[in-house]
A and B are shown apart, each in its own frame.
Chain A
Amino acid sequence: MKNHVFRPLLVVIGLIVIALIFRFFYVPKDFGVHERGYMYGWYRQGNIEDWRNFSVKYQGKDSCSGCHADKVENISKTPHAIIQCENCHGPAMEHPSNPPKLVIDKSRAQCLRCHSWLPYPSSGRSQIRGIDPDKHNPDVECVMCHNPHKPSLEGLT
């Protein structure tokens, strides 16, 4: 082969070797084809563990009843028993160690999520007791009169 063909060829081969060496060090060892085959399962195995180690924020009602059994018991006798404590009291991840971290949502908007009455015949929404937020004491917080832990009308304060 003539020299002027051979020399550029060497440069190209050199570049390919450099790219392969870079790839060898850059691509993690656990990157490859896994259970779901080449089309869907081509990934870095360590990422599964990364996602599993993501922190859990919402602890659930059972976790709350560990310390607040009386509160959980009381609300379980009311229609609001179906609502998770953390839906209003906030995710309790750091709660036992850092109590002020919990921010309680007592806002009118929180109540209106369910109790703003909507005339939807084909949805359970129309069966929930609700109000027209423009007419029922606008600009007043619901918790001024209603107790969310005792939502029946006898619970009015």
Chain B
Amino acid sequence: MNRRDFLKNTVKGIAGIALPLAAFEFVNPRELFATKDDNAKVRWGFLVDTYKCVGCGLCVKACKLENEIPYDANVSRTWVERYVITKDGKKYADSPKAARDGFTTGKIDLGEGKFQEIRNEDIEKAFFVPKLCNQCENPPCVQVCPVGATYQAADGVVLVDRTWCIGCGYCIMGCPYGVRFFHPKYLTAEKCNFCYHRISKGLKTACVQACPFGARQIGNLKDPSDPVTKIIMTERVGILKEEYGTKPQVFYVGLDREVK
């Protein structure tokens, strides 16, 4: 190597090192995919107003009967949680039988047949929170399915193919919200699907229809004139477990930090 070549190579080398790595990222397939035109006209979303929920459980009853979930088995596609926070800072939460029969007593169900009596004057705040599948934009339950039995439809609803599910249970473990369970009759993974048979016929879900207080609403997030979309866009709403990055599409009015 002569002196001229040495100097040339040194300059080239330094220039090469100085180029930031980002300059080489001309095409990121993931970003390309995201910017691709999204043609879907419908994206189902859900709005829960916890101020309106009184814990009657009529939604759970309607859901179980509509979707043929064995009525006395302790599994449900949707449920209602009760939170009671006492003045000494203790937090109680329960959902006996998924609140199928509502909350008819002030005693908290601790499980295993034990109940906690709470005196009226000790209660600081107490409220009900309905739960259901969040139909996440990034559903972890779908990613873990080894056979392609659970998937996201074009309108955002996550469905389970009962004929294809092998019952391995990965999705049940993968859901951070615990909305999945085994169907006792079909022995496949089961979950809320926003009453897919109803919403695709223009009906409301069974729980939305059954709620006397309007605590549950469903709407099309792609339609800016949809009343539910308007509330989600313009009012203060929260989502559950944002830190998981699942982008849930069930929005809550009146969430509390105790609600997990």
Query: Considering only CB atoms, which chain A residue lies closest to B58 in the complex?
Result: A87
A116 to B239, CA, bound (A): 30
Select A109's contact among B101, B127, B161, beta carbons within 8 Å.
B101
Query: Considering only CB atoms, which chain B residue lies closest to A127 in the complex?
Result: B54
Min CB–CB distance A129 → chain B (angstroms): 12
Query: Considering only CB atoms, which chain B residue lies closest to A111 in the complex?
Result: B104
Question: Is B184 on the interface with A (CB-CB < 8 A)?
Answer: no
Give the tally of cross-chain contacts (CB within 8 A).
147
Neighbouring B residues of A124 by C-beta, 8 Å: 51-54, 213
Interface residues of A (CB under 8 A from B): 31, 34-37, 39-44, 47-48, 50-58, 60, 82-84, 86-87, 90-91, 109, 112-114, 116, 118-125, 128, 133
A51 to B181, CA, bound (A): 18
Which of B1-9, B194-202, B224-232 binds A?
A: B194-202
Complex contact A57–B66 (CB within 8 A): yes
Complex contact B142–A39 (CB within 8 A): yes
A43 to B41, CA, bound (A): 21
Neighbouring B residues of A114 by C-beta, 8 Å: 54, 56, 102, 212
* B56, B120, B128, B150: most-surrounded residue (chain A CB, <10 A): B56
Complex contact A51–B193 (CB within 8 A): yes
Given the contacts A35-B154, A55-B197, A123-B55, A116 and B126 also touching, CB distance less than 8 Å? no
Query: Considering only CB atoms, which chain B residue lies closest to A47 in the complex?
Result: B161
Question: Is B23 on the interface with A (CB-CB < 8 A)?
Answer: no
Complex contact B55–A47 (CB within 8 A): no
Query: Considering only CB atoms, which chain A residue lies closest to B36 in the complex?
Result: A37
